[in-house]
Amino acid sequence: MKTLLLKFSVPLFLVLLSSSLLAQNTATLRGRVTSPDNKPIEYISVALQGTGKGAITDLRGNYEIKQIQPGTYLVVVSGVGYKKVSQHITLTNGHLTELNFNLTEDETQLQSVEITGRKERTYKTKATFIGNKTQTDIMDLPQSVSYASKELMADQGVVRTGDVVKNFSGVSQFTFYDDLTIRGFRVNGQSNTQLLNGLRTSTGFWKQPLTNYLERLEVLKGPASALYGNASPGGVVNRVTKKPLDESRKSVSISLGSFNTFRGLADFTGPATKDSTLLYRLNLGYEDANSFRDLQFDKNVVIAPSLSFIPDEKTRINFDLVYNSSRSRLDRGQSVIGNDLNSTPITLALSTPNDKLNENTYMVTFSVSRQLTEKLNFSASYLKTGYNEDLYEHRSANAYAVDGAGKVIPNLVAMQIFTRQRKRYIDNFSGFLNYNEKTGPLEHKLVAGYDYGSEKTPVGASQLTASGYRNATNTGFIASYNPTNKANYLLDKNGNPVPNVPSFDLNNIRASQQLQDDSKAFYSVASIAPAYYYLNAGYAQDQLKWNKLQVLLGVRYEYYTDFSNYAATNEVKTHSHAWLPRLGAVYSILNNLNVYGSYVTGYNPQSAATLANPNAGGPFDPLKSKMVEFGAKGNFLNDRIGITTAVYRIEQNNVLYNAGVASQPDLLRQVGGVLSKGIEFDVTGRLTPYWSLIASYAYNRSYISESPVAAEVGTQNPNAPRNLANIWTRYNFSKGLLEGLGIGAGANYAGKRNLSINLTQTVPEYLLVNAAVYYTVGKIQLQFNANNITGKKYWVGGYDYIRLFPGAPSNYLATLTYTFN
């Protein structure tokens, strides 16, 4: 026993002795950083130049750097919006040295283009670029903005846009594609009205891209055409990519979960040179996951590097690339028998193992910002988006099969085959000047700029379609069945028309999901004509401030050019233009409470190019909209909590909806007008230094106000719930036995929704409950997320009872994250 004790006690003594000697031979530096009014400043970087050692101030402005070798150092203190300061200090063995700093604000550091990264680690974001094309405090913006930070996304374990927006008031999914409803209006990734870092882009629509490369996801509510051109009247979605930091941060994470999910993510950032003139960031993502839906899977690779070159205090240049390679199948939704939502499982997908959807997307951005004078700043950005689609799918024909009398067979879904290849390219340039001036008692923040945007679907895009019923000679097919002309169709032994593609039997699901022999199907070439449009726009805006009042006055002129019959011998240019005013006012009732009002307009041409659907029909008149909004914004608890409330009224004319023609499933028609009215409430931030919260509620009445079909007037817009409510909270234990432990919980509620203006079909309301547990030890965090823990059966949206989009049942995700410098 003595030998055993000696064997273990000697190494333990040596470890304790070395630790004691290390503590005696190193120094510690700590202190506090405050603002000009002596309030603590969090997320300020305090670094010992040339050592790689440093710290970030906490909520009380405190910092501490341990285990510093004795010597003389230059301490550099920096943070966004404050002037950088530095001071030499000499540290000695075993001593604790205190060094405090008082920083002064630096207006010239505010960015006109978001180039350098955000250092905060909280749900709350103080400023945004989306509302004024320059860094603006959200409190001073006369329009509602909802956002989710990367910290919130990480805590909830979400990497899809649809899962992120559930935290926003008035925003929900339309389908489970990259397809949303904002204030009752549809916004999707294929419509070229989404933004990446404030520049127009689009996604493949069919799949929601990963969000691991995002700093935050934000929505500017209401028409944003005055600043960004054609956009949805409900709002515009802006995805802000992670930018480089001037301090070293690195993290890797591995996630395993339900539906055979495996995900690996990495995020590296820091200075690339000793003088920090070149900063880098690299985000990597890999995902291999199945789904609760039959035959569905996702394999994604994301590579997202970013470089920031800051040669001096007046110049910033940035390069961003987001590349996503996706391999999957296209899921067209669940079909049910008749009107019984419980007649088939929510796992049902009408795919087969033959199917594939291969997509490649890249988005490349160059940005530059130059401080020309103390008052004048120039910014310019260019974004190139490229998309490539290779699709083969078995899908419903949006109808049930019929018998010889033309009567619907409710358990048989009529099927079709699509095989399609196409590419799409989008270019967007934005250049503008920011000028700050004071004339008497008035302060001016002027923005004037020029935008260019274009989208092209080049020659070569094509689609083969097999659908309908076989003709009498079995040499082709007829798009639809007419029982009065039976002699034109091939009939089976029971006198029923033979489908060109075998129908999907909802009473024998597994047989219908097997490999299909498509060699006997007859195909037709569906036209995907090349398309091209471009726009030129100029805009000017002035945000005036007088004491507690701020007034925003802006206008945009847009000239839009579309090519009818592009790349054909009968190509014709068509033009349209619009003046788009924007008015707003903000008044500070208190230092931490503002009220605001705004009037904004929207404009969106509706051509084959902008609709990204050559089979939609038309020509259609452009969408026009206007919004009036009033609200209040406040920051409370020493700026830790932000609260926004808003009331609004939006009018839109010339809205398109599906025409309901079975033989032309993509055909659209125009209705007279839509009116949307509602209230919203958002809370984001921290109640205490260790208790984070985000919550929202929205009531939205969005309905058809004018239509040639009288019965449609008053009908709530498709997939637009009247009530939405969300809450998520996380609490971290900082002391005692539970130190390092964190718990999270939340709920999401969506009211009953209509599926179409043509039908009485609806999907029911739902309430989902989610929870999470976190445990942090040093640089390692273990995280476990459980979603829909009550196992609620629900649908996020749908077009009809043949194309329903169910939500996921109970599922979990376990994540291991290692963070290091």
The pLDDT tens digits of the residues spanning 160-194 come to 988 999 999 999 999 999 999 999 998 887 765 68
Q: Which of 153-157, 231-235, 415-419, 577-581 has the lowest mean pLDDT?
A: 231-235
Give the span between the Cα atoms of 76 and 88, in whole angstroms: 9
**Chain centre distance of CA 741:** 29
User: Would you call 102 helix, strand, or coil by DSSP?
Assistant: strand
For residue 679, what is the domain's CATH number? Answer: 2.40.170.20
Two tokens, residue 673: 């007008």
8 Å CB contact between 160 and 176: no
Give the span between the Cα atoms of 243 and 245, in whole angstroms: 7
Give the span between the Cα atoms of 200 and 237, in whole angstroms: 10
Whether omega for the bond prior to residue 619 falls within 30 degrees of 0, making it cis, is yes
User: Would you call 238 helix, strand, or coil by DSSP?
Assistant: strand
Give the span between the Cα atoms of 155 and 691, in whole angstroms: 13
Number of domains in the chain: 3
The answer to whether residues 390 and 460 belong to one domain is yes
pLDDT at position 193, please? 66
Residue 714: pLDDT band (50, 70, 90) is: confident
Two tokens, residue 335: 């079909």
Residue 252 Cα distances to 215, 256, 268, 819, 820, angstroms: 16, 14, 9, 7, 9
8 Å CB contact between 425 and 369: no
State the residue range of the domain holding 180: 110-238
pLDDT(159) > 60: yes
Give the span between the Cα atoms of 282 and 114, in whole angstroms: 17
pLDDT at position 17, please? 42
8 Å CB contact between 220 and 238: yes
For residue 218, what is the domain's CATH number? Answer: 2.170.130.10
pLDDT(139) > 60: yes
The average pLDDT across 754-774 equals: 91
Q: Which of 186-190, 693-697, 731-735 has the lowest mean pLDDT?
A: 186-190
pLDDT(420) > 70: yes
CA angle 169, 347, 507 (to 5 degrees): 135
pLDDT at position 14, please? 44
Give the N- to C-terminal CA distance of the chain in Å, as an integer.
44
pLDDT at position 13, please? 46
The pLDDT tens digits of the residues spanning 19-41 come to 444 445 788 899 999 988 787 88
Residue with the larger pLDDT of the pair 127 and 153: 153
pLDDT(591) > 70: yes
Residue 259 Cα distances to 297, 302, 336, 571, 747, angstroms: 9, 21, 23, 50, 22
Domain boundary among 108, 132, 164: 108
422 domain residue, yes or no = yes
Domain boundary among 238, 259, 275: 238
Residue with the larger pLDDT of the pair 9 and 655: 655
The average pLDDT across 50-56 equals: 79
Sheet of strand 235-241: strand arrangement: 145-149, 214-221, 235-241, 194-196, 199-201
The answer to whether residues 53 and 145 belong to one domain is no
- Block residue for tokens 């603002």: 35
Burial 206-233 (b: 16+ CB within 10 A, else e): bbbbbbbbbbbbbbbbbbbbbbbbbbbb
Give the span between the Cα atoms of 175 and 187, in whole angstroms: 11
97 domain residue, yes or no = yes
Q: Which of 41-55, 271-285, 420-434 has the lowest mean pLDDT?
A: 41-55
Give the span between the Cα atoms of 366 and 345, in whole angstroms: 47
pTM surpassing 0.95? no
pLDDT(665) > 80: no
Other C-beta atoms within 10 Å of 354: how many? Answer: 15
474 domain residue, yes or no = no
pLDDT at position 147, please? 92
DSSP string of 580-626, one letter each residue: EEEEEEEEEEETTEEEEEEEEEEEE--SHHHHT-TTS----PPEEEE
Name the percent of the chain lying above pLDDT 70. Answer: 91
8 Å CB contact between 243 and 265: no
pLDDT at position 15, please? 42
795 domain residue, yes or no = yes
Residue 414: pLDDT band (50, 70, 90) is: very high
Residue in 124, 67, 44, 4 with CA at minimum distance from that of residue 638:
124
8 Å CB contact between 358 and 327: yes
Element (H, E) at 404: none
Can you list the pairs that 395-399 forms with residues at least 24 positions away whose Cβ atoms lie under 8 Å?
395/330, 395/332, 395/350, 395/351, 396/332, 396/335, 396/350, 396/504, 396/802, 396/803, 397/467, 397/468, 397/662, 397/665, 398/662, 398/665, 398/799, 398/800, 398/802, 398/803, 399/662, 399/802
Residue type, 320: D
pLDDT(123) > 50: yes
pLDDT at position 635, please? 92
Give the span between the Cα atoms of 625 and 40, in whole angstroms: 45
Give residue 689's region: left, alpha or beta (phi > 0; psi -120 to 50).
Answer: alpha
CA angle 747, 751, 753 (to 5 degrees): 135
Residue with the larger pLDDT of the pair 15 and 726: 726
The answer to whether residues 745 and 776 belong to one domain is yes
pLDDT at position 614, please? 56
Give the span between the Cα atoms of 703 and 652, in whole angstroms: 10
Other C-beta atoms within 10 Å of 161: how many? Answer: 24
The set of residues, in sequence order, having a beta carbon less than 8 Å from that of 267 and lying 6+ positions away, is 212, 242, 249, 250, 251, 252, 281, 282, 283, 284
Residue in 33, 118, 82, 121 with CA at minimum distance from that of residue 685:
121
Two tokens, residue 5: 């004790």
pLDDT(108) > 70: no
The answer to whether residues 657 and 533 belong to one domain is yes
Give the span between the Cα atoms of 302 and 460, in whole angstroms: 27
User: Would you call 151 helix, strand, or coil by DSSP?
Assistant: helix
Give the span between the Cα atoms of 533 and 573, in whole angstroms: 9
Give the span between the Cα atoms of 444 and 650, in whole angstroms: 29
Give the span between the Cα atoms of 623 and 603, in whole angstroms: 6
The answer to whether residues 119 and 265 belong to one domain is no
The set of residues, in sequence order, having a beta carbon less than 8 Å from that of 621 and lying 6+ positions away, is 606, 653, 654, 670
Domain boundary among 238, 272, 303: 238
The pLDDT tens digits of the residues spanning 242-291 come to 999 888 899 999 999 999 999 999 999 999 998 889 999 999 999 999 99
pLDDT at position 296, please? 97
DSSP 8-state class, residue 313: T
For residue 47, what is the domain's CATH number? Answer: 2.60.40.1120
The answer to whether residues 730 and 612 belong to one domain is yes
pLDDT at position 638, please? 79
377 domain residue, yes or no = yes
Residue in 700, 800, 807 with CA at minimum distance from that of residue 755:
800
Q: What is the residue-averaged pLDDT of the chain?
A: 88
pLDDT at position 784, please? 98
The answer to whether residues 210 and 78 belong to one domain is no
Cα Dmax for the chain = 103
Residue 776 Cα distances to 123, 212, 692, 781, angstroms: 19, 21, 17, 4
Other C-beta atoms within 10 Å of 574: how many? Answer: 13
The answer to whether residues 227 and 371 belong to one domain is no
Residue with the larger pLDDT of the pair 710 and 336: 336
Two tokens, residue 434: 């920011």
The answer to whether residues 337 and 412 belong to one domain is yes
655 domain residue, yes or no = yes
The answer to whether residues 96 and 127 belong to one domain is no
104 domain residue, yes or no = yes
The answer to whether residues 321 and 384 belong to one domain is yes
16 domain residue, yes or no = no
Two tokens, residue 389: 């689609």
Two tokens, residue 821: 């410098």
The average pLDDT across 598-612 equals: 72
The average pLDDT across 666-684 equals: 87
pLDDT(1) > 50: no
Element (H, E) at 217: strand 214-221
The answer to whether residues 655 and 687 belong to one domain is yes
pLDDT at position 5, please? 46
pLDDT at position 511, please? 94
